Amino acid sequence: AQSVTQLGSHVSVSEGALVLLRCNYSSSVPPYLFWYVQYPNQGLQLLLKYTSAATLVKGINGFEAEFKKSETSFHLTKPSAHMSDAAEYFCAVSDPSGNTPLVFGKGTRLSVIA
C-alpha cells in the first residue's frame, strides 16, 4: 500500500522568501511521485513529477523537488516566492506498474505575504 503525508496544512511565507513544502511517502515498491498545484475554483495542475530518472526534478513556475530515498521524502521548493504562488499544493504517489490509482496527500495551502 502507498501513502503520502504532507506536513503542515498551511504554510505562510513572505514574498521573495524560500518556499518549502514537505512531502513524505510510504511505498512498498520504488514509487513515482508528483506535485500538483490548485488555484481557487480550478482543477489540479501538474507542477512536476519524478519517474526514477534524475532525483532533482525541475517543474513549472520555478519549482523543483528532490527525491530522497533514504528519507522517503519529496519536498517541493522554490527559491523566491511570488504572490502568484499562493495556492493549494498536493503531493501524490503512484505505483509504476499502474495497477492502482494515484494516492494524494491532504494538501498544503501556501500563503504569500507582501
Partner 1 sequence: ETGVTQTPRHLVMGMTNKKSLKCEQHLGHNAMYWYKQSAKKPLELMFVYNFKEQTENNSVPSRFSPECPNSSHLFLHLHTLQPEDSALYLCASSQNAGSNGYTFGSGTRLTVV
Among positions 68, 101, 111, 113, the unique one binding partner 1 when judged by CB under 8 A: 101
Residue 90 contacts partner 1 per CB under 8 A: yes
Smallest separation (angstroms) from partner 1 to the CB of 9: 9
* Contact track, partner 1, 34-73, x by CB under 8 A: x-x----xxxxxx--x-x----------------------
Residue 102 contacts partner 1 per CB under 8 A: yes
How many C-beta neighbours within 10 Å does residue 8 have?
Answer: 12
Torsion angle (degrees, nearest 10) of CA 8, 13, 16, 20? -10
Residue 94 contacts partner 1 per CB under 8 A: yes
Residue 28 contacts partner 1 per CB under 8 A: no
Determine whether 67 is exposed, middle or buried from the number of CB atoms within 10 Å of its CB (0-12, 13-18, 19+): buried
- Here the cell at position 66 is 528532490
Say which residue the cell 504532507 belongs to. 6
Find residue 55's DSSP bridge partners.
none
* Sites of contact with partner 1 (CB under 8 A): 32, 34, 36, 41-46, 49, 51, 90, 92, 94-102, 104-107
